[in-house]
Structure 1
Amino acid sequence: MKFLRTVLMASAVGLAATPALAQEKVIWWDFLAGGDGVRMKALIDRFNEEHPDIQITGTTLEWGVPYYTKVRTAAAVGQGPDIMTYHLSRMPLGLSEGVLSEITEEDLQNAGLSRDDFFPRAIEAASGEDGKLYAVPFDIHSIILYYNKSYLEGSEFLDENGNLTGIDSLEDFERALALAKENGSSAPVSYSTGDDGGVYRVFFTLLKQQGGDLIRDGEVLPGDSLGKAATAIEIMTRWTENGWQPEQAEYEASVALFTSGKAAFHLNGVWEVPTMVDLEKEGKLGFEWGAVQVPKLMEQQATWADSHAFAIPQQTGKEMSPEKRKAVMTVIGWMEKNAIDWADAGHIPAYKPVAESDAFASKEPNATYSSLAETAAYDPRSLIAGVASPVYDAAINIISPAIHGYMEPMQAAEQIKSDLESKQR
């Protein structure tokens, strides 16, 4: 008995002498709300469960200008996070503000990643003019074309499997819109015509499909891009005049037009795929739907796109320790390799091993429209472009009134040029 007490006491002393597991705390900021927020929180929880030595403390801030303002001001006083989500379209502004830390080759190695693991267009958007990497792309999200099969039944626009086909030009698409109207659709193509994001993304897609540039080498609508911008606005105006698109539709209303069965087509981001999937599972959709990459309507295939990415802020007076930086890169590497769960939000993983996996190939309609990763058209490299920027202001203040008949297309294009050029001074 005495021997047993001695052994137990020795064991207790030994346990007490064992140091607690060293734990690296990683402060995380994101702007992800709704379904995106739910999925990201689930990924963070899983990471924390699997990594007792690294724990993420996450905070979600308001999307848009408030988020990026907070990042800038916090980094300036050394109070920013260790890792943050970032839109690649905001990279030029972030670099000009000096808030982005370079992601080195050593960093990528610590994450178990390499540049070749990602789609080239995403890596290009995540890099500075100096060729250095300043963020790690997490996804590619773009607008896509949703469609309601009921308005196209028995037509040339559905194949034998009920999939959209036969739209290889603007003329084809407009014939499909006319058919949908004949078949009772009150909004043959729905998008948020009264919202900056919806208007800008459709306009930018039509501009890029003509080979036009919104901003190139600091010049707004250079050369023949002015006329191509006018053509894009003219097309959107015609859709209004023919009664094919809703007037002054806010974002939620534009989605409701499609989910309620009134719209035959819907131009919106991949992020609405979960809405359609959930409504279908609940038996609340009332029709068969599909989604494809925005077809080649003009001279070349291109679609507005952006990426959520991971970045490390460059903080004034606060040097990140090598141990903390390695922990941050471990987080990034794990997120990339588990991005199949993020794909449930409709996004295309930027990390090719996941995007090209059998697991992703089985996800529909994601796999159908994933080809857009090769033709994604990111915003121009400019301090006045990107989410919540002056180009979005121009969309709601100039393009939206024009497509509703308050301004001639060329007049609107010239005003965009003048307005954005004044913002660059």
Structure 2
Amino acid sequence: MTYKAFTLASAVAALLAGAPASAQQTVTWWDFLSGGDGVRMKALIDQFNSEHPDIQVQATTLEWGVPFYTKVRTSAAVGRGPDVMTYHLSRLPLGLAEEVLTPITAEDLDTAGLAEEDFFATALDAGKDAEGALYAIPFDIHAIVLYYNASYLEGSRFLDDEGKLTGIESLADFEEALALAAENGAESPVTYATGDDGGTYRVFYTLLAQQGGTLISDEGEILPGDSTEKAVRAVEIMTKWHQEGWQPEQALYEASVALFTSGKSAFQLNGVWEVPTMTDLEDAGDLGFDWGAVEIPQLMDQQVTWADSHGFAIPVQGDAPMDPEKREAVMTVIGWMEKNAIQWADAGHIPAYKPVAESEEFAAMQPNATYASLADRAAYDPRSEIAGVASPAYDVAINIISPAIHGYLSPEDAVEQMKAELQSRLR
């Protein structure tokens, strides 16, 4: 039998056996998701694979941060990267500068059963370049929120009749609540990772953004106009919290979380990703206090909050365009993930896909639904190659801002050093 005849006979036999006429598509997937996020994403991938025998996702989890984005850059250059990957939208400007991302067209979205109007504008804009071309589809919105331990506020104006946080509408209100918590025995009235780049940066950036300040302009200017003075003010506030003994000293991330979960802090400024930690402890009966989480109140001139998004991006594969059938399979995966994002929201995230975020199922999800209002007021990092997770902007937080809030630099000197360091990192 000739090879051609053998191939034809094999195909006929497969059809008679009920096998699919078209070949199965394998989608190579990279992510950086560990811990609870990783568990939830693996469950989603397993479910997709079970529902789609014609498309199978083969997933690999790589190290979060710089190692992940370095791997993406090197693999894209030689055509050895994934078909789809998770991507922080705050890292999009760097990815565009490195030319490792491919645009996602209206036809791609249609293939996925999605449309731009399905997404929160703040998140969708963060997935676009300066000209409005889409390069990453947002999957969630994750921000810092204000966790609270109601036991330190009992009998005060800061709890309503149902024991929910209320009455914080200014910086003065918040600091009054911190002073009250200290009087009521809180070891650290407010906890965040004061000795960690992410924790320090996110609080600083929120205080700057709430004043209407700009860290890096679209033209690449560091703290333009009166943003320098606003940055100084943000550092002064964080320094005062240290001087008053209201926040922990040089706390690394795990220690800052432990202060709250152990009942030693009245408030925690941290990401929505710690909601599962709280709910798991509560369900196990290991918490010992009533808690909640709300959108960061308006402490300054406007109510905005630092935020980022996990998104889905399609990397460059060397000089070769992606096969159309492969791209259709990739978009099918992305569309399915968006429509099943309620399972991802269980990790504390806000779905970026509005049909899920506005569903009855999400409305019943607490405390997520309580702080979901921040989606329309999310303050994403500047559209700059030196901003975003694991970037020079985070480096200055740990190397300059953190020492300043601990009294080793004046706020004015810290901001000037920050400006000089970031300016030196611009290309």
Task: Judge same fold: TM > 0.5, yes or no.
Answer: yes
Give the secondary-structure state (helix, strand or coil) at the position aligned to 1:55.
strand
Q: Which residue of 2 aligns with 1:193?
A: 194
Establish whether residue 407 from structure 1 lines up as the match of residue 404 from structure 2. Answer: no
Q: Which residue of 2 aligns with 1:363?
A: 365
Offset of residue 318 of structure 1:
2.7
Q: Measure the CA separation in 2 of the matches of 1:155 and 1:138.
A: 39
Q: Measure the CA separation in 1 of the matches of 2:19 and 2:175.
A: 73
Establish whether residue 47 from structure 1 lines up as the match of residue 58 from structure 2. Answer: no
Give the secondary-structure state (helix, strand or coil) at the position aligned to 1:345.
coil
Q: Which residue of 1 aligns with 2:9?
A: none
Establish whether residue 296 from structure 1 lines up as the match of residue 322 from structure 2. Answer: no
Q: Which residue of 2 aligns with 1:330?
A: 332
Q: How does 1:23-422 map to 2 (within 5 A)?
A: 23-216=24-217, 217-422=219-424
Q: Which residue of 1 aligns with 2:8?
A: none
Q: Which runs of no fewer than 5 residues in structure 1 stay unpaired?
A: 1-10
Q: Which amino acid aligns with 1:302?
A: V
Residues 203 and 339 of structure 1: CA distance in aligned 2, closer, same or farther (over 3 Å): same
Contact 2:15 2:21 in 1 (8 A): no
Q: Which amino acid aligns with 1:361?
A: A
Give the secondary-structure state (helix, strand or coil) at the position aligned to 1:267.
strand
TM-score, normalization by structure 2: 0.96
Offset of residue 317 of structure 1:
2.6
What value does the CA root-mean-square deviation take over the aligned residues? 1.3
Give the secondary-structure state (helix, strand or coil) at the position aligned to 1:146.
strand
Give the secondary-structure state (helix, strand or coil) at the position aligned to 1:273.
helix
Q: Measure the CA separation in 2 of the matches of 1:287 and 1:187.
A: 16
| Identity %, equivalent residues | 72
Q: Measure the CA separation in 2 of the matches of 1:19 and 1:123.
A: 37
Q: Measure the CA separation in 2 of the matches of 1:313 and 1:411.
A: 41
Q: Measure the CA separation in 1 of the matches of 2:303 and 2:98.
A: 33
Residues 122 and 19 of structure 1: CA distance in aligned 2, closer, same or farther (over 3 Å): closer
Q: Measure the CA separation in 1 of the matches of 2:174 and 2:350.
A: 25
Deviations 1:185-224 (A, max 9, x none): 0100000000000000000000000000000120001111
Q: Measure the CA separation in 2 of the matches of 1:170 and 1:14.
A: 70
Q: Measure the CA separation in 2 of the matches of 1:263 and 1:348.
A: 25
Contact 2:192 2:270 in 1 (8 A): yes
Q: Which amino acid aligns with 1:405?
A: G
Residues 160 and 69 of structure 1: CA distance in aligned 2, closer, same or farther (over 3 Å): same
Q: Which amino acid aligns with 1:286?
A: G
Offset of residue 22 of structure 1:
2.4
Q: Which residue of 2 aligns with 1:8?
A: none
Q: Measure the CA separation in 2 of the matches of 1:335 and 1:207.
A: 34
